[in-house]
Every structure is written in structure tokens, then in C-alpha cells.
Amino acid sequence: MEDLIVAFLRSGTPIVYVALAGVIAQRAGVWNLGLEGLMIVGACATIVTIRLTGSLPLALAVAVLLCCALSALLWFVVEILKANQIIAGLGITGLGLGGTALALTAIFGSEAAVNAPFGLPRIGPAFGAFGGLSVLVALMPVLVFGTWLVLCRTRFGLRLSACGEHPFAARAIGVSPTLMRLWALLLGAPFCALAGAELAAGSLQMFSVNMTSGRGFMGFAAVIFGAGHPVGAALAAFFFAFAGALGIRAQLLYGDRVPSALLLALPYLATVAGLWLSARLGRRSTASGPNELGRL
């Protein structure tokens, strides 16, 4: 039971982080489909920098900076050049996936997985079976609460949400939705970097090409399933992770009877079911996002 919970927390945390970034962006009126790309850049930057310099703070700083740069690029293309958010977001994802593969070949000579000598600090043996979890897992509830506090209880957060709900109203009180979306994306970027760092350095301490395998998109689906609320999105992310942990557990128990590839599909199926549910539950207005979210 305990190791099931550990596996569950371990697989859920990166999705929660990336979902928080998605919530911030969505509230400001940006469908951020670049989350997957930002996350893998965060993962790659963390491991590669640890490997090259041996410094964890530096690694996290590089990851955050790269994610901020990519987010700013997405903002420029979407808000200034008025490109379609979905396609531009997928472009960022492609840049992240391709760019990390390219970086590995350029630095290490091949696309093989890269190991780091150490990863994120663990919460320590005092916590028994949970001691192997990284500090980012322990920090996660704090950050979810903090995001809720900032988004729903501060002037800045409400203004940010106004930019997604009704940009004209925001503009009327002197808030520039364009600029606010930049802040929203830049605020989300560190969350993506942490999501990647947790995924790559939280327990595995290695990076391999395409290792995010859709977790960024799951985070995005968690935003929709969680109706754009930080706590809701975090719960939705854990729901997807639960399906994933269950799949891995079922593989160990029933692997000989049920094809393992189909059990691995469980988190994706859970995501689809989550989307279907949130659409069915009549949250159509939030499920399709704030009014201002653009389509082609």
C-alpha cells in the first residue's frame, strides 16, 4: 500500500506542477499547449547542467531561464503576431522535443539517455517509506495553495483572471491583457521547469529523449477537467496519475493475462474520460475556456 502511494505521488507531482502553469495561462486567456515542450526542456536542462557543472541550483536556474525564454517566445508569437494559440503551442512543444534531442546529440554525441550523478534532495529517511520522495513533492501542496492564494485572493490574480474572462473590462480599468498574458506565461514557466526537474531528477536522475511522453498534455487536460481552478487542476492531475500508477501496479500483478501496452494506456484513457466527464457535467462554459481563448 505504502509503495503504491509513493508511486502515485511520484508520478502525480510533475503533472500537478505543469497543470498549475496551465491554470495560470488559461486564466489569463492563453491555451498553453506548449506545456509539454516547456516541461521537457526543464527536464533536459536540469540533468544536463547537473552533469556538466555538478551544481543543482545552477541547473534549476538554467531550466527556469530556458522555460521563461520559450514562454516569452510563445507570448510574442501568440499575442504580438496573433498566431493561433493551439498551433503555436504545438510548435513550442515540437521545439522542446526536437531541441532537447538536438542538444543531447550536440553535447554527448548521441541521443542515448543521460545520467546525472545526483538529483533533487530527498525529504529524508525520517519519513520512512516516503523518504525517497524529492522535496518538490513535499513543496507541492504549498505551491498549489500559493497559486490559489495569488490567483483568487489578490488584486493581481483577479486582474489576471479578468484578462481571460473579459479583456475589455480589464482594459477599461487600465490593465493591458497583452502584458498580463506575458506575466502569466512567465509565472507559469518556473512551474514547467520544476515539473521537468521533478520528472527527471526527482527519482530517476536521468534524461531520455521524449521522456515526458504526453504528461504536459495531461497537465493541460487537468486544467480543463479542474475547471481552471488550481486545486481542481491538481486533483485532476492526481486522478490521471492514479490511473497511471494503477496501470503499472496492474502490470506487475496481471501482466501475464492483460497486455501490458494496454495497461500503459490507462492514464491517457483516464484523461479522455476526465474530459468527457467535465464536458458532461455541464461545465461547458469553463470547459471550453474563458471567452477570449482564440481559435483558428
Partner 1 sequence: MTTQLAVVFRTFAFILAALLLCALIFAAVGLSATETLQGVIEGALFRPRALDHVLRWALPLLITSVGVVICFRAGFFNIGAQGQFYMGAIAAAFAAEALRGTSPLVAVPLCLAAGMAGGALWALWPALLRVRAGADEVITTMMGNFIAALALVHVTSGPLKDPSGSGQATSSRPIDAAHRISETTGTSPVILATAVLVVLLGWWLTRRTAFGILSGLAGRNPSMVAWQGARVESIAISAFLFSGGLAGLAGSIELLGPNGRLASGFLPTHGFTAILIGLVSSLSVLATVVVALFFGALASAALYLPIVAGLPAAAIEIINASIALFITARADAVRGVLSRWRSRWKT
List, as one string, the DSSP characters of 62-80. HHHHHHHHHHHHHHIIIII
Q: What are the start-end ranges of the H helices in 109-214?
A: 135-153, 155-165, 167-172, 177-201
Exposed/middle/buried for 142, CB within 10 Å: 0-12, 13-18, 19+?
Answer: exposed
Q: How many residues bind partner 1 (CB under 8 A)?
A: 53
Choice from 30, 50, 97, 116 touching partner 1 (CB under 8 A):
97
Strand partners, 206: 115
Exposed/middle/buried for 225, CB within 10 Å: 0-12, 13-18, 19+?
Answer: buried
Choice from 54, 98, 131, 255 touching partner 1 (CB under 8 A):
98
Closest CB to partner 1 among residues 120, 215: 215
- Could you tell me the smallest distance in angstroms from the CB atom of residue 205 to partner 1? 23
Q: What are the start-end ranges of the H helices in 76-128?
A: 85-108
User: Considering the rule CB under 8 A, would residue 75 count as an interface residue with partner 1?
Assistant: no
Residues 6+ apart with CB under 8 A from 76: none
Q: Directed axis angle between helix 215-225 and helix 2-28, to 10°?
A: 70
Nine-digit cell at 228?
Answer: 481552471
The candidate with the shortest Cα–Cα distance to 190, out of 27, 46, 12, 7, is 46
Region binding partner 1 by CB under 8 A among candidate stretches 14-22, 124-132, 147-155, 215-223: 215-223
- Could you tell me the smallest distance in angstroms from the CB atom of residue 43 to partner 1? 16
Choice from 1, 106, 142, 173 touching partner 1 (CB under 8 A):
106
What is the pattern of x (binds partner 1, CB under 8 A) and - over residues 28-67? -----x----------------------------------
What is the pattern of x (binds partner 1, CB under 8 A) and - over residues 234-273? -------------------------x-xx-xx--xx-xx-
User: Considering the rule CB under 8 A, would residue 73 count as an interface residue with partner 1?
Assistant: yes
Q: Write out the residues near partner 1 by the rule CB under 8 A.
A: 33, 73-74, 77, 80-84, 86-88, 90-95, 97-99, 101-103, 105-107, 111, 213-214, 217, 220-221, 224, 259, 261-262, 264-265, 268-269, 271-272, 275-276, 278-280, 284, 287-288, 295-296
